[in-house]
Structure 1
């Protein structure tokens, strides 16, 4: 069902990759070049960049995870997606239900109608992520369902090859996070006759407005606050206090590296992807100053990548090994998907074993840890300063 007409797979960022591929597979094209919108354009029109920093502590499991938001309205994804649809004239139908039977019917009906529904799911319940059970319900995710065959749902999830999950498992993944209400998004493209310059400008203005807020949770000041937390010994959320016993430090550093460089960001907190959008927007709006802003966001992306590598320094052997294993795992998944399941399972088990061992007993001295935190603070201060410079250039280009 549905799968015969689905030919574009893969992508970078779950929220934008799903919308990009669904519309491309529906034949939706841009009026300026007659080709499907790039993922960079989808990101930019939807509102572009965001900021976010939340440190979750799992004291029961000697673990901690750092969650970062790099897209506009990263904590209000339905609004992010709705804004994009409104700006390009695509109809968005959000289907929700608390019941498993109705949820299955919604999905079955959509596939029977030849639709490609985007589903809200729990990462831990999808077997190809190989997450520890303790993370059940912690990390939301987005996949496109493009067919059903022999009791298995066929999924598009950033890999260049299709994935499949059995029906019961997928049902569990959809219902695990109660606030999602088994949500599906159905997109309906009504041709491609929309005002691309207006949609592009709306996305640019949204991004500038969002990043310019004073919030220390969802706007640029979050990075200034985060930098302070790296060496603050008085705040209970300061890293010297949270990680005084080093418990959970390993998983936090790993999640920081993974979240910036590997999972859905194209290696630099989405800043490179947004810079690509600015390059396209410059041509669409005939505004050369956007190219200058694009160069600054490329520079910010480099700073984010450097920061991601710095938190897993080669001088600390288990962190160097973690960095190597993660890079290998992501490369295999994105290029081969579950066709390389045995190797993915082996790499994931190695990483899980290291997490269990090192979260409770991290092999560095107090002095080494404090030096690492100070170095991270320096990276964050440089990122914050350059992010502000890039935002000022962006605001000036559209004023």
Structure 2
């Protein structure tokens, strides 16, 4: 408890200095902690967790271990650079129906649906190998051989099958770094500043649980990066613009992506009469509580980075500005920082004072996941159970009432409209050719 109080003081001091949200400041503070020496880690794998975006921070660790540096700077790749090269930001909004569950709101604010890590590697010209197999025995043998060769691996697993990530009863992909092995225990790099020690049998369970990506693994095969940094930056920006303004999948689901998805979210938040409007769809107080907490978590914690990943993308645009012609990149970066502030405010407002116990619960969960990881598994499971209990409690008591729910939805709709306006302007700047994209 004393350690967590000290962590909170550091986080709040950073918030006061930078204006960041609690989630952003927490990730920076946790990532700045020096990890304990870990003899079982591969040589050169010295950083774990940290960063504000899971996949980008993980890839930065893997590339540093492989000795890969950016040809643009001669230094290790930054998290922001990798986030941008991997597709940058996106926006996918949908409400899914699962039997026996309230409607499930999902927002993905990173580039989607293409996985970020292979795209960033390919665009940067970094050699890598990807493998998949239906055989668990063959997958384990390949993983052990990769580690024995001195290379870290990135395995796509079911996040909810990892002991320290209790969650929903359906698979959800997550990239996890395997940074070493000691007998039958692997070291996983997954958000925590310390490596997770996990029996390889448990890793195999999580690694085998994704039917469409069973035993998917990537490892870097060389220290070089032979891509053209200028072309890579321009192509990355052009792709982000295209997917935020046009089709992503080429089918009817595209209405849920990019600016279209953002406008759809605003419209459904504001709709008080239609069946798809949140007033009717989440009229049940329990379902409303679930929708609000999910909105918060998707914008600040899951499937991107805090502030809907817009501040991190702004950092990429600033870093890439020397590789792009004209002032558009820097001007757009300022707008994306503003959009990030709006999205973080939306996330914060989705948890009104009546939902304070959930905010305390999710904050503790994030602190433990970032600083203790696997060692905090029992407590993380208690917190997950507590979340389920709160959902029932708020469904029974309905502390906001119909009028409070209506006012909150109207306010959120107005704020999403502001974010849409800001992002339209940022995309206009990047489209008009001043960044030569």
TM-score, scaled to structure 1: 0.90
User: Could you tell me how far apart the structure 2 residues matched to 1:43 and 1:197 are?
Assistant: 16
Question: Which of 258, 262, 276 is the matching residue for 1:219?
Answer: 258
Aligned to 2:268: 229
Q: Which residue of 2 aligns with 1:27?
A: 67
Residue pair 1:117, 1:185 contacting (<8 A) in 2 also:
yes
Q: Deviations over 1:140-183 (max 9, x none)?
A: 21111111224222111122111122222211111112111221
Query: Contact between 2:85 and 2:123, CA under 8 Å: does it hold in 1?
Result: yes
Q: Report if aligned partners of 2:41, 2:187 keep a CA contact under 8 Å in 1.
A: no
Aligned mates of 1:185, 1:356 — CA distance in 2: 41
Residue 7 of structure 2 corresponds to which residue in structure 1?
none
1:398 aligns with 2:413: no
- Residue 16 (structure 1) aligns with: 56
Question: What are the superposed Cα offsets for residues 213-235 of structure 1, whole Å, 9 maximum, x if unpaired?
Answer: 15321221111111111233554
The structure-2 alpha-carbon separation of the partners of 1:359 and 1:230, relative to structure 1 and needing over 3 Å to count, comes to: same
Which of 380, 387, 391 is the aligned partner of 2:423? Answer: 387
Does residue 305 (structure 1) correspond to residue 344 (structure 2)? The answer is: yes
Supply the distance in 2 between the matched residues of 1:144 and 1:308 (Cα, whole angstroms): 29
Aligned structure 1 segments of 4 or more residues deviating by more than 6 angstroms: none
Tell me the distance in 2 between the aligned counterparts of 1:157 and 1:349: 22
- Superposition deviation, residue 288 in structure 1: 3.2
1:63-212 map, 5 Å: 63-72=102-111, 74-77=112-115, 80-131=116-167, 135-212=168-245
CA shift for structure 1 position 311: 0.6
Please give the alpha-carbon distance, in whole angstroms, between the structure 2 residues aligned to 1:124 and 1:87: 30
The answer to whether the aligner puts 1:284 opposite 2:323 as a matched pair is: yes
Identify unmatched segments of 5+ residues in structure 2. Answer: 1-39, 248-253
Query: Following TM superposition, by how much is the alpha carbon of 1:313 offset from its aligned partner in structure 2, in angstroms?
Result: 0.9
Matches within 5 A, 1:319-398: 319-341=355-377, 343-358=379-394, 362-396=398-432, 397-398=434-435
Secondary structure of 1:358's counterpart equals helix
Distance 2:403 2:98 in 1: 25
- Root-mean-square deviation (CA, aligned residues, Å) is 2.2
Distance 1:95-1:235 versus aligned 2 partners, 3 A rule:
farther
Q: CA deviation at 1:69?
A: 1.4
Kept after mapping to 2: 8 A contact 1:13/1:158: no
Whether contact under 8 Å (2:282, 2:291) holds in the other structure is no
Change (3 A) 1:356 1:164: farther
Equivalent-residue separation in structure 1 for 2:343 and 2:89 (angstroms): 14
Tell me the distance in 1 between the aligned counterparts of 2:125 and 2:315: 23
Q: Secondary structure at the match of 1:67?
A: strand
Whether the aligned pair in 2 keeps the contact of 1:40 and 1:273 (CA below 8 Å) is yes
Post-superposition CA distance 1:71-99 (Å, at most 9, x none): 22x2221xx43332222111232211122
Cα deviation, residue 398, structure 1: 1.7
**Aligned equivalents of 1:279 and 1:143: distance in 2?**
28
The alignment of Structure 1 onto Structure 2 pairs a total of residues equal to 389
Residue 346 of structure 1: CA displacement? 4.5
d(CA) in 1 for partners of 2:395, 2:58: 34
Distance change (3 Å), C-alpha of 1:136 and 1:102: farther
Q: Are 1:48 and 2:88 an aligned pair? A: yes
CA deviation map 1:311-339 (0-9, x unaligned): 1112x1xx122112212321332234334
